[in-house]
Structure 1
Amino acid sequence: MDVISKKQMSEEDIKLHYITPAITAQWNIQHVTMETKVTDGRINLKGNLVIREKPKRADYVLYVSANNPIAIVEAKDNNHAVSYGLQQAMTYAQMLDVPFAYSSNGDGFMEHDFMTGKEREFDLDEFPTEQELIQRYKAGANGGAGLTPEQEKIIAQPYYSSQNTYPPRYYQRIAINRTVDAIARGQDRILLVMATGTGKTYTAFQIVYRLLKSGMKKKILYLADRNNLVDQAIQQDFAPLEKVIHKVNFAKDDPSTITSYQVYFSLYQQLAGNNDDQEEEGDNALAKLSQLFRSDFFDLIIVDECHRGSAKKESNWRKILEYFSSATQIGMTATPKETKYISNIDYFGEPIYTYSLKEGIEDGFLAPFKVINIMTDIGEGWRPRKGQRDIYGNEIEDRIYTNSDYDYNIIIQDRIEQVAAEITRYLKSTDRMAKTIVFCATEDAAERMRVALVNQNADMVKQNPDYVVRITGSDTYGKSKLDYFISVSAKYPVIATTSKLLSTGSDCKMTKLIVLDEMIGSMTEFKQIIGRGTRLREKEGKTHFVVMDFRDVSRLFADPEWDGPIEMNDDYDPNKDAPPTPPNPGPDTPNPPVGPKNPKPIVDKNGCRVEVIYKTVSVYDASGKLLKQESIIDYTKENIRGAYASLDNFIRQWSTEDKKETIRELLRNQGIDLEAIKADQGMSDVDDFDFICHVAFDKKPLTRRERAENVKKKDFLNKYSGAARTVLEALLDKYMNTGIYEIEKTEILRLDPFMQMGKPQKIASYFGGKDGYLKAVKELEQAIYDGGAA
């Protein structure tokens, strides 16, 4: 047999016969992986479909150790130059933080050395040996000074692994490796910036594990500012270290026994006092702290969510860090910049690694989202009538009130009802069990919203009274439900109304709807709130989430500080009627609240009736730039008209044999699921043909039943008699129930009621054979669509 030419070989053939042998001749096969998945593949929200792109894969990854990849090799077929794949290899190398990139077409290799910036080409049998490449890496490290003994030691220290843990994703590995390497080099202040939902706590655990096992650190303090965050960390990511963990408790801890642990968890507030403005409280807390721990007791401190408090120079919390100043300190945050306070970069230094929300969404590790902006007729302003009084009988100050006033300075009851109605309508059109967080202006506003949502969803509340719960700092009952709300397995609560409690930290994995009904001026807080929805749970049905904005907070997406991509289209009809607003509970005028001399004015529905005047779905590119605003109906209309310039053209295409399924598939490829859109529109009983004509060409739709009845009124069926007519009548009933696609398939004859009429061959014989049957079906279709669009 003649030898196959390289030019005829596929890329896989080139790898098999040339590249793999060249690499494995020089490298231990156990230190090489092939087709290594780097990302999960971005999730795109196209129309009303969710489509995941293919993951990025590196052809070959070469490793110094299990923790540390050192080189990327990209392969191409022999119809490309040796260096053709080098740019791709370099891109992957930069993503994976490795120093060497190679490409090959089976003739030789091209190398890019990131430590020197140089490139070279060499023959296929000259690929660097494992020892040679590792030595070049070690010698070139630290600007050519080489690796220190501590760095070499920590490189060899493996991650924690078990059947219950997953290996670090590429960005987590980089964050871990850079951190332990920086500590090995003696750096004592370190900042890691990782978007919400990317696994900061898991990353912290792997850092702690490797440092403990290597002996580089022996006593570690992990600080957070929420008790549930501390408990989450101990019970979940840090569970493998449970035997050496202790949660600090000032009231019970004995200084003589507390020192026997290795990893300590505590709240900032517990160690430094609850109030930043009370200097004395902070000093007393530090006095207690010094009784438990010497200032040099800890050699590593991890500050979770370090954008809050700990980075403020005037903060008492920061006294903890100053007290333990001899310890290495790692700050972890999703938002590295502050607005009115000094940046945490001022304390920890520039981040040694940043993994942004934008990168997380593009890699497919974080959920993309849609943004629905909703404007009421009082959004731009409402002015009371001359002498108008509130429900307490007090005259309302005569001025223009806007979104920045509602719930803060004045309460418009009907506005609350309309916001609750919009939330309810959306959930009814999508998924009423979708976990939802409603961010309200104040705790009082969160309670009013809870009541409004209860009344709007009485049927669901009847099934479980925890369908809607207020979860705020002062609400003991609500806080007791927090763990259930953030649980993946617990169904209730479904809707949480809150003010600030859920804006940061809480790991709300299944949140599918975030409602913004408070004014937000801080980019830090805005990113944290958006981060409540970014976690992916595909197995449980969460592929993306929706942001519903009632206060134009989404203007912050245009801020240069915003780094997350938004790519979206609506998956429900913004123009569909909202559920009816519950009736006013009664005409009685309530008494003013006891205590305040000047309570906030409350205006009932008689004093201000509110309507939603428009809704838009914002579509952005990957850089957060606004492309257009539209509804799914507009999107569908635009794409159909793009494919079929006129109604006549569409009817001709539809009427052509085998075109109906092709048209449906074409629309699916453009992100249009007709069945889903029809369900959203309450038009599931309408034929696809009619629905397309209605949406794209403004024609009145007929239901499938109406079209079937029209056929029965005509003479078409009278052309057949006996068993043949019975078959056609059964086909017409099938069309009425399931649509046109099924009756076109001969497989339908193997289903009831046709099976009762005989085998397919027997049924075809009623029409003189298969060709006669197919001709009759075609004529039936023509009768169904006789006259085209209504």
Structure 2
Amino acid sequence: MPSEADTRANYIDPALKEAQWDSHTITREYYFTAGRKLAGGARGSRCFVDYLLHKNNQHLAIVEAKKESEHPTKGLQQAISYAQKLNIRFVYSSNGLQIYELDLLTSHGAFVDRYPTPDELLQRYEGKATDISRLLRNTPFQLESGKTPYYYQELAVHAATDAIGQGTNNILLTLATGTGKTFIAFQIVHKLFQARWNRTEVGTRRPRILFLADRNVLADQAINTFNPYDSDLIKIDGEEVRRRNGKVPTNAHIFFAIYQAIAERENIDGYYKAYPPEFFDLVIIDECHRGGAKQDGSWRAILDHFSPAIHLGLTATPKRTDNVDTYDYFGDPVYEYSLKDGINDGYLTPYQVKRVRTNLDELVLTDGDLILKGEAKKDLYESSDYDKTIIANERTELVAKAILDNINPLEKTIIFCVNQNHALNMRDMINKHKTITDPLYCVRVTSDEGKIGRDLLERFQDNDKDIPTLLTSSQMLTTGVDARNVRNIVLDRNIGSMVEFKQIVGRGTRIFEGKDHFTIIDFRGASNLFYDPEWDGPIDEPEPGGVKEPPPGGGKGGGGDGGGTPPEPPEETLTVQLSPTRTLKVIDVEIRYIDENGRPMSAQQFLERLMLKLPDLFSSLDELRQRWANPDEREVLLLQLGEAGFDSTQLNTLRTMFHAEACDIFDLLAFLTHETPMHTRAERAAKTRETSTLFERYDQAAAQAFLEFILERYERTGTVELSRKSLANLVQLAGQGTITQLSQSFGGSAKDLLQAFIDLQHELYHCV
């Protein structure tokens, strides 16, 4: 029967050639995502299209191929979703006998006689193209050898340069934290440089560009990204101006500044006023949602002064009520890429949530509790009161012990506390109960720590160093921390702002080798914000006033780095010592699974979703048994479960929920689908020893010793070591020499040894 490959070779390829498409304008089997990260280093399926049609660095259409025997539009919906991800307007689906064309702009679909030519498709896109945008699209990216931009980065760059080519004055890009906004900005600048674009006459001179940030660490990170243009860039700050005898630098093309350094201050004109309004051709505003676009915002005066320039805003924040001024100023984004997209595409790390409850989440003081300072003003203190209006070190110690109980000792972890004092107390309690002896295992990194804290943060960010491992902070680490190997985000403070919550979560999303997921450990219910309707996309970053730590005692901190309103006096804090007769304990650790939209599910919801998916993977108990007993099929089944949202980490957690830690995942799945009794791994191994014919078939001592070793390892670790690729390591661990040597006891060849390895697993799952 003709296959899909036959359709491509016999029908689609000749039809495209007849329509003047060639190897320069067709990419076959175009893969454009990395595949969602799954447990054990696995990846989910990558998105790809059968044909990507393009010309002049512009995606024009995709073609979906079907078997000749299938309906020509079968699978069209998936092709539409891929076209939407790739910002493609036209979708074609064909079984070779018919060609269906769908225009996503007009939603009009119809069967057509032929494919349009490249020029015909380009003509349909002409409303978006200008000579300048085409010039910028065709200017190559600046890339290291062998590196290519991710598909969404390429689309973001082209969307921005298209807008510049159309003469758009205010341009907005919205992409989730961790997806490379600064890299995108650099590529835009590179294209403008190479094309010698400027606001007056293209091709005459290179542009002058101002890159604005609101924190030195962000500006410095951007400077590092722009390193290929090192000789063309300079940072505007007081030190540089003083070095030039009070003159602002003008002898560069790329200027970096934090707005506090160039804005007006009390009795001092801003440095920006020393530049003529038309000096810059482009102003890039990093994290532009942080109040800068408001009429009285921190950056607005600078933007107004440089109004002749094009203003390009970069943000991680989708439009919401608290940043409507940003969208009023820049308009709708020319390109968006969300946290959900980043995780599902495999460019950001998924997460799970542990909600930890203690018997001190609510506190009623008794006569046995000692008031050390302040006055009790409430009958009931709730979790939101701790370390703000009441300090009870006993609770901090309980939380510290619970943190250590719920992480692996050398997993890099950031603990977000209420304020600097709380971060100090948490550090001390962690160090009191830690098992790692290094004095810098857990450190506080807050603004009070100064250079020492910054140095410790740099060491924490170094993925080649294990120490420091745990950082305690309050707000200083919510942004600007590019630590890719963070495995745990601990929340021991209430978070009232969705902006702040999203950017805290963003500290864990960076991709790192061997990091399948990160865990949010929540002691105060802050993770309930996942259920808020506004949790629908990219991670936000904080407002400019949120970059300083709250002062000790729980009071409100001051504004941004540029001064402003004096801080309010701290609230009076009640400090208590709880009665020694109280029993302090963790009463519940609830693991919440995450759905495809990034929202936590209860265990019951997770189980219900699993039960709906399992019939798609096996239709009977016999089929499950056959698939699980074969190591190759078992890996495929686990991958399919992972792609459906149920990876091995989640399945193991589910096994714990059913008190089946000593059982195999197979037994759990069989119980859930067919209500069969669950057997422990020890029971399966014992029954296999009793009934197996392998011990008689292979009667040499070395063979029998190896078979017994496999059963013992299975009892201890389950199927983790029973894959085909683990066989060589098992032979080594068993002390049986090499595979070649051990094979002599199994018939003489490595193939015989492998077959015995597979047969033993078959008997494991068929013995009971």
Once the two structures are superposed, residues 561-605 of structure 1 have per-residue CA deviations (whole angstroms, 9 ceiling, x without a partner) of: 111599xxxxxxxxxxxxxxxxxxxxxxxxxxxx99955414356
- Say if 2:215 is the partner of 1:221: no
- Where do 5+ consecutive residues of structure 2 fail to align? 199-206, 540-568
Once the two structures are superposed, residues 655-701 of structure 1 have per-residue CA deviations (whole angstroms, 9 ceiling, x without a partner) of: x99969799779856557599959x98x9996859997999999997
CA contact (8 A) 1:636 1:672 kept: no
Q: Match for residue 241 of structure 1?
A: 229
- Say if 2:405 is the partner of 1:405: no
Please give the alpha-carbon distance, in whole angstroms, between the structure 2 residues aligned to 1:220 and 1:522: 33
- Where do 5+ consecutive residues of structure 1 fail to align? 1-7, 274-279, 567-594, 765-769
CA, structure 1 residues 694+700, in 2 after alignment: closer, same or farther (shift >3 Å)? Answer: farther
CA contact (8 A) 1:110 1:122 kept: yes
Q: Match for residue 526 of structure 2?
A: 553
CA contact (8 A) 2:369 2:577 kept: no
CA contact (8 A) 2:73 2:100 kept: yes
Match of 2:339 among 310, 332, 357: 357
Matching residue's letter, 2:534: E
Match of 1:284 among 268, 283, 304: 268
Q: Match for residue 418 of structure 2?
A: 441
Please give the alpha-carbon distance, in whole angstroms, between the structure 1 residues aligned to 2:476 and 2:723: 57
Kindly report which structure 2 residues correspond to 1:201-216, keeping only aligned pairs within 5 A, or say none: 201-216=182-197
SS at match of 2:312: strand
Match of 1:516 among 491, 494, 508: 491
Matching residue's letter, 2:586: V
Match of 2:31 among 23, 26, 37: 37
Please give the alpha-carbon distance, in whole angstroms, between the structure 1 residues aligned to 2:131 and 2:629: 70
Match of 2:261 among 248, 270, 275: 270
Please give the alpha-carbon distance, in whole angstroms, between the structure 1 residues aligned to 2:375 and 2:424: 25
Kindly report which structure 2 residues correspond to 1:159-558, keeping only aligned pairs within 5 A, or say none: 159-163=141-145, 166-217=147-198, 218-236=207-225, 238-253=226-241, 254=244, 258-272=249-263, 280-281=265-266, 284-286=268-270, 288-291=271-274, 293-337=275-319, 343-379=325-361, 381-386=362-367, 388-391=369-372, 396-428=376-408, 432-459=409-436, 461-462=437-438, 465-476=439-450, 477-537=452-512, 540-558=513-531
Q: Match for residue 21 of structure 2?
A: 27
Please give the alpha-carbon distance, in whole angstroms, between the structure 2 residues aligned to 1:700 and 1:523: 46
Q: Match for residue 54 of structure 2?
A: 63
CA contact (8 A) 1:690 1:701 kept: no
Please give the alpha-carbon distance, in whole angstroms, between the structure 2 residues aligned to 1:115 and 1:641: 37
CA contact (8 A) 1:388 1:396 kept: no
Matching residue's letter, 1:416: T
Name whichever of 360-369 and 127-136 sits farther off. 127-136
The structure number with the bigger radius of gyration is 1
Name whichever of 15-24 and 299-308 sits farther off. 15-24
Please give the alpha-carbon distance, in whole angstroms, between the structure 2 residues aligned to 1:272 and 1:448: 38
Please give the alpha-carbon distance, in whole angstroms, between the structure 2 residues aligned to 1:296 and 1:658: 69
Q: Match for residue 96 of structure 2?
A: 106
Please give the alpha-carbon distance, in whole angstroms, between the structure 1 residues aligned to 2:707 and 2:98: 64
Q: Quote the offset at 1:395 in angstroms.
A: 5.1
Please give the alpha-carbon distance, in whole angstroms, between the structure 1 residues aligned to 2:685 and 2:117: 76
Kindly report which structure 2 residues correspond to 1:686-701, keeping only aligned pairs within 5 A, or say none: none
Q: Match for residue 565 of structure 2?
A: none
Q: Match for residue 69 of structure 2?
A: 79
Kindly report which structure 2 residues correspond to 1:675-686, keeping only aligned pairs within 5 A, or say none: none
CA contact (8 A) 2:631 2:722 kept: no
Please give the alpha-carbon distance, in whole angstroms, between the structure 1 residues aligned to 2:156 and 2:665: 54
Q: Match for residue 559 of structure 2?
A: none
CA, structure 1 residues 603+296, in 2 after alignment: closer, same or farther (shift >3 Å)? Answer: farther
TM-score by length of 2: 0.77
CA contact (8 A) 2:736 2:742 kept: no
Q: Quote the offset at 1:194 in angstroms.
A: 0.8
Please give the alpha-carbon distance, in whole angstroms, between the structure 1 residues aligned to 2:6 and 2:63: 16
Q: Quote the offset at 1:358 in angstroms.
A: 1.5
Q: Match for residue 10 of structure 2?
A: 17
Please give the alpha-carbon distance, in whole angstroms, between the structure 1 residues aligned to 2:491 and 2:745: 63
Once the two structures are superposed, residues 435-479 of structure 1 have per-residue CA deviations (whole angstroms, 9 ceiling, x without a partner) of: 2111111011111111112222242x42xx332221112212112
SS at match of 1:163: coil
CA, structure 1 residues 619+596, in 2 after alignment: closer, same or farther (shift >3 Å)? Answer: closer
Kindly report which structure 2 residues correspond to 1:582-597, keeping only aligned pairs within 5 A, or say none: none
Once the two structures are superposed, residues 63-110 of structure 1 have per-residue CA deviations (whole angstroms, 9 ceiling, x without a partner) of: 2223x2122222112113444455444333222112332222223533
CA, structure 1 residues 312+446, in 2 after alignment: closer, same or farther (shift >3 Å)? Answer: farther
Q: Quote the offset at 1:42 in angstroms.
A: 2.5
Once the two structures are superposed, residues 333-385 of structure 1 have per-residue CA deviations (whole angstroms, 9 ceiling, x without a partner) of: 11144665654213222222221112222222221111111111122x21212
Q: Quote the offset at 1:548 in angstroms.
A: 0.9
TM-score by length of 1: 0.75
CA contact (8 A) 1:86 1:110 kept: no
Please give the alpha-carbon distance, in whole angstroms, between the structure 2 residues aligned to 1:244 and 1:762: 70
SS at match of 1:22: helix
Please give the alpha-carbon distance, in whole angstroms, between the structure 2 residues aligned to 1:64 and 1:302: 29
CA contact (8 A) 1:506 1:532 kept: yes
CA, structure 1 residues 631+493, in 2 after alignment: closer, same or farther (shift >3 Å)? Answer: farther
CA contact (8 A) 1:37 1:56 kept: yes
Name whichever of 73-82 and 436-445 sits farther off. 73-82
Q: Quote the offset at 1:296 in angstroms.
A: 2.4
Please give the alpha-carbon distance, in whole angstroms, between the structure 1 residues aligned to 2:99 and 2:289: 46
CA contact (8 A) 2:392 2:576 kept: yes
Name whichever of 22-31 and 192-201 sits farther off. 22-31
Please give the alpha-carbon distance, in whole angstroms, between the structure 2 residues aligned to 1:63 and 1:744: 42
CA, structure 1 residues 398+137, in 2 after alignment: closer, same or farther (shift >3 Å)? Answer: closer
CA, structure 1 residues 761+84, in 2 after alignment: closer, same or farther (shift >3 Å)? Answer: closer
Name whichever of 210-219 and 152-161 sits farther off. 152-161
Q: How many residue pairs get matched?
A: 699
Q: Match for residue 133 of structure 1?
A: 121
CA, structure 1 residues 352+425, in 2 after alignment: closer, same or farther (shift >3 Å)? Answer: same
Q: Match for residue 558 of structure 2?
A: none
Please give the alpha-carbon distance, in whole angstroms, between the structure 1 residues aligned to 2:276 and 2:602: 59
CA contact (8 A) 1:453 1:468 kept: yes
Matching residue's letter, 1:80: E
Kindly report which structure 2 residues correspond to 1:596-745, keeping only aligned pairs within 5 A, or say none: 600-604=574-578, 606=580, 609-624=583-598, 627-629=601-603, 668=638, 735-736=711-712, 739=715
Once the two structures are superposed, residues 180-205 of structure 1 have per-residue CA deviations (whole angstroms, 9 ceiling, x without a partner) of: 22222222112221111111111111
Q: Match for residue 54 of structure 1?
A: 45
